[in-house]
Structure 1
Amino acid sequence: MRVTKPANGASRAMRHFRFLAVGNAVSSYGSYLNMVALNLFAYHLTGSALQTGLFMALRLGASFLTGLLAGSAVSRLDRKRVMVTADSTQAVAMVVLVLAPVATQSTLLYGIATITGVCATLSSVALRSSIPEIVGADQRVRANALLVTGRSLAMVAGFASAGLVIATLGYTAAFIINAVTFVFAALNLARLPISTRRHTATPTDGGAGEAGAKRESLLGAQLTALRFLKAAPILLAMIGLRAIDGFGSASHNVGLPVLSSTIDPGNPAAFMSQFWTVWAIGSILAQRAVAWWAKRSDRSINERAFAVGAIVMSLAFILAFTTPPLLFGILVALLAGIADGFTEIAYTSRLQTAPDEQRGYVFGFSAMAENFGFGGGMVLCAALMERMSPLAVVAIFHGLAIVLALAFLAVLVLRRRGRGSEGPTEPEPATTGAPVPEPAGGVPEVVNRPTGPTTERDKAGMTEHSEAGT
């Protein structure tokens, strides 16, 4: 069933989403600032690298475990309320840490690590699952580009300002700023008149509806996701590739501080700041280009584009660790950002073609896989860099991602050629709980027909669609 929007409904939905994206960017800034501040504060309180490592591991572990239940939670509960509650909870946690006696703060840190890991994952899964319902499926690529743009800017601002804030104002000020950003995001979202769920949704046999979700266990939630993904193996393969890509991301995140110390021992932070700034510029350029394309093109971003983007991104990060000349290094960092930003949009937009009843489970499963890849990669890379150079470690993990992406791309090309003279068959994303079957021997494409409410363009009979093409 297609719900018709009133006049100017599409533009109003995107206007509301822009406000949501601003709030998300503000809270992301606080999160990146806090990521630096909390890790340094943990070491400041305990004086132990082991305790600091345990704090970081607990945060990653909480994120991973939350992925097991996030799909069930966002399928059962109101997603907007989940996001508001997650932001509010993190704000309260920061205030409690600030007001707590110094003697208890080291103990509270472990609770803070758990809360931030849980709430960040719940909020991310809820938001990514809701975008097609907030703006309509035909606008989801533009919406994803807005979100990733905001997060890229927030990451640069958060990391760049963390040292200055902590050095001049102290840890307490950093935590208060973080709490304020979460309060702003929660209030901003709470006031927006948006719907995060398809109202005509009904429970399915797989337990993906509200009634089914209430009965299922953590294992049941994963089985629900896998049942759907079994009917859409391309999405399952993309999630697997994304998890392997997490190992590659871990390698360059662990390796950059080591490389920076080698390049500029007197001021290693300078190289890292410059690299991530150029990377962010590239990411933003990609996102704005995709948003521009999505507004003007009737073509789609599909899984082949995702695979190509993953290959280019991994190659760029490997080249960055060869310590190229300055100008070439800037171009490499820019290319890494462009490919990273594009790949994020392509991945998220493709997974959002899942029906609303299964979408929360798919993104919950994806969050679990991504956190597993990144967390496991952090541990393995840290151990390997005790024996190997940063370039060797980055080449191994990003090289593995390249090999698997090439294999995935080859399978897609062969399956497409195997269609013969029948031509591509593009299944329309379902508006009910039924899984979207893949065409026999073919690859499902992202289509331009909106699964969400009919836009005013539809009413006017216009054929222009807001779907990015590649």
Structure 2
Amino acid sequence: MKKTLYLYVKAFSDFGSMMDTIVLSSLILQLTNSPYWLSGLLLMGVAGGTASALLSGVLADRYNRRSLMIWSDVLRAVTLLLILVWPTPLVILAVRFVNGLLNSSFQVGFQSEIPRMFGEQRLVAVNSRIARYRSISMVLGFLCGGTFAVLLGYRWVLVLDALSFVISAVVLTGMKWEQSAQSSQSSTGGVRAEAEVKRESFGRNFVEAWGYLRGNSILLIVMLVSLIDTFGSASHNLGFPLLAAFLDPDHQAFVYGSIWGIWGVGNVLMTTIMPRIPKLQERLVPFYLGCTVLMSAGFISTLSSHSLPPVLAFAFLTGIFDAGSVTANGMIVQSVENSIRGRVIGVSTFLGQFGFGLGFLVAPWLVDVVGLTQMVWVLHGIVIVTTLGAIVRYARTVRGRKAGRDLPA
């Protein structure tokens, strides 16, 4: 079975997940008529992902990553179907939390295994395709979720998403790829390191991961920027629906969908261009930092505009740099040694979930205190200042370090 087929299967699974996000949000509002329950639904997913990220990283290094992905898919399908039996607000929140756990374990396992599934030399092309399909799935899922719920009912949307997880598990079961513990730097050392990981305690595994990060200053720079970036991203996730309501109160859903839709077009464009950029894999860190600055500037410009044409124009440009930032970040953490890759990606996932959750606590308060536009300036301004500082630090680190001792510059 061709491994690239799985990219389409995963895109279908992402499409289903986006639809069930829309459907569950609508369902819990119908059941409770309370925005607090809706906020709880969103926070439960983030809380679950945060809770399991570090442990998932250890599991990805200790055990078979394909098995971790398969069982995550199967359990996501089973827990989602529980809502069909008990469609109550508490069950919906519990399912959201558990699936947050399982989503995190799947993503950590998948991201850790991409270099071995598809080859380290194809990281730019494969990650670009994954990001492109994810963007398309997100936009289509957003547009189709409400429509399918009206035409088919929420139960069939949930069944469709559960089916997408089952299909993913079946395809993964039938796929074959080299899973022997090999490192691009030292195959024998990689095998010995992975065997030692399995014999050590979980606590020792965490200590080893922290020691690795402490010795890799550039990777720490990237993770710090990623943490602040996800913190700032809460501003536009909260801000876009508020901006849509301001621009056209009578057609808020259409405007909201249009903003995310044109943002998705920018994503697709960048992920199409990235594999054609010469020697990008050797310049991932400066590419990532530059895209992050431009992305945050784009979100500020989008949410500071007061009519639809400039909003859509800035959203398109923002989507371009957002895709560059997210895709490059994923490739940077995938570039570490295989024996510790799962734990590094687990730490990266934990920081991303934690930053996003913290941002969602701060952003609504800032909207009430200073207003929507100022809130976005504050949160994404922090991202820009932090990233500019990281660029200076990265330049100094590269100049003061001997070539070949760390990640590619």
TM-score by length of structure 1 reads 0.81
Q: Is 1:36–1:159's contact at 8 Å kept on the other side of the alignment?
A: yes
Instruction: Tell me, in whole angstroms, the C-alpha distance in 1 between the residues paired with 2:175 and 2:144.
Output: 29
- Alignment pair present for 1:358 and 2:340: yes
* 1:56 CA displacement: 2.4
Which residue is equivalent to 1:28?
Answer: 14
- Alignment pair present for 1:315 and 2:297: yes
Instruction: Tell me, in whole angstroms, the C-alpha distance in 1 between the residues paired with 2:364 and 2:198.
Output: 39
AA in 2 matched with 1:354: V
- Alignment pair present for 1:413 and 2:402: no
**Worse-matched range after superposition: 88-97 or 332-341:** 88-97
CA deviations on 1:197-235 (whole Å, 9 max, x unpaired) are 53553344xxxx344345433x54432221111111111
Q: 1:82 aligns with which of 68, 71, 94?
A: 68
Q: Is 1:16–1:194's contact at 8 Å kept on the other side of the alignment?
A: no
Which residue is equivalent to 1:379?
Answer: 361
Q: Is 2:3–2:117's contact at 8 Å kept on the other side of the alignment?
A: yes
Instruction: Tell me, in whole angstroms, the C-alpha distance in 2 between the residues paired with 1:214 and 1:23.
Output: 35
Aligned residue runs from structure 1 range 70-469, under 5 A: 70-98=56-84, 100-102=85-87, 105-196=88-179, 198-199=181-182, 200=187, 201-204=190-193, 209-213=194-198, 215-217=200-202, 219-293=203-277, 297=279, 300-323=282-305, 326-418=308-400, 425=403, 427=404, 437-438=405-406, 444-445=407-408
AA in 1 matched with 2:228: I
Q: Is 2:197–2:205's contact at 8 Å kept on the other side of the alignment?
A: no
Q: Is 1:64–1:371's contact at 8 Å kept on the other side of the alignment?
A: yes
Q: Is 1:287–1:342's contact at 8 Å kept on the other side of the alignment?
A: yes
* 1:249 CA displacement: 0.8
Q: Is 2:302–2:310's contact at 8 Å kept on the other side of the alignment?
A: no
Instruction: Tell me, in whole angstroms, the C-alpha distance in 1 between the residues paired with 2:78 and 2:98.
Output: 10
Secondary structure, counterpart of 2:2 in structure 1: helix
Q: Is 1:287–1:341's contact at 8 Å kept on the other side of the alignment?
A: yes
Q: Is 2:181–2:191's contact at 8 Å kept on the other side of the alignment?
A: no
CA deviations on 1:239-296 (whole Å, 9 max, x unpaired) are 11101001111111011111111111111111111111111111111101112336xx
CA deviations on 1:328-350 (whole Å, 9 max, x unpaired) are 33331111111011111211111
Q: Against the structure 1 CA distance between its residues 196 and 16, is the aligned structure 2 distance closer, same or farther, given a 3 Å change threshold? A: farther
Secondary structure, counterpart of 2:282 in structure 1: coil
* 1:181 CA displacement: 1.4
CA deviations on 1:337-380 (whole Å, 9 max, x unpaired) are 11011111211111111100110000000000000000110111
CA deviations on 1:178-211 (whole Å, 9 max, x unpaired) are 111112222222211123553553344xxxx344
* 1:417 CA displacement: 4.3
* 1:325 CA displacement: 5.0
Instruction: Tell me, in whole angstroms, the C-alpha distance in 1 between the residues paired with 2:280 and 2:244.
Output: 43
Which residue is equivalent to 1:38?
Answer: 24
* 1:326 CA displacement: 4.4
Structure of higher CA gyration radius: 1
Q: Which has the higher helix share?
A: 2
* 1:319 CA displacement: 0.1
AA in 1 matched with 2:300: I
Which residue is equivalent to 1:464?
Answer: none
Q: 2:45 aligns with which of 52, 56, 59?
A: 59
Secondary structure, counterpart of 2:368 in structure 1: coil
* 1:82 CA displacement: 0.9
* 1:95 CA displacement: 2.3
Q: Is 2:115–2:123's contact at 8 Å kept on the other side of the alignment?
A: yes
Instruction: Tell me, in whole angstroms, the C-alpha distance in 1 between the residues paired with 2:44 and 2:375.
Output: 24
Q: Figure out how many residues of one structure are paired with residues of the other and give that number.
A: 403
Q: Is 1:131–1:196's contact at 8 Å kept on the other side of the alignment?
A: no
Q: Against the structure 1 CA distance between its residues 214 and 93, is the aligned structure 2 distance closer, same or farther, given a 3 Å change threshold? A: farther
Instruction: Tell me, in whole angstroms, the C-alpha distance in 2 between the residues paired with 1:148 and 1:368.
Output: 20
Instruction: Tell me, in whole angstroms, the C-alpha distance in 2 between the residues paired with 1:215 and 1:417.
Output: 37
CA deviations on 1:149-193 (whole Å, 9 max, x unpaired) are 111010001111111112222211111111111122222222111
Q: Is 2:247–2:307's contact at 8 Å kept on the other side of the alignment?
A: no
Q: Is 1:224–1:361's contact at 8 Å kept on the other side of the alignment?
A: no
Q: Against the structure 1 CA distance between its residues 339 and 33, is the aligned structure 2 distance closer, same or farther, given a 3 Å change threshold? A: same
Secondary structure, counterpart of 2:106 in structure 1: helix
Alignment gaps of 5+ in structure 2: none
Q: Against the structure 1 CA distance between its residues 139 and 183, is the aligned structure 2 distance closer, same or farther, given a 3 Å change threshold? A: same
- Alignment pair present for 1:18 and 2:4: yes
TM-score by length of structure 2 reads 0.93
Instruction: Tell me, in whole angstroms, the C-alpha distance in 1 between the residues paired with 2:174 and 2:101.
Output: 24
AA in 1 matched with 2:222: M
* 1:107 CA displacement: 3.4
Instruction: Tell me, in whole angstroms, the C-alpha distance in 1 between the residues paired with 2:317 and 2:280.
Output: 26
Alignment gaps of 5+ in structure 1: 1-14, 428-436, 439-443, 447-470
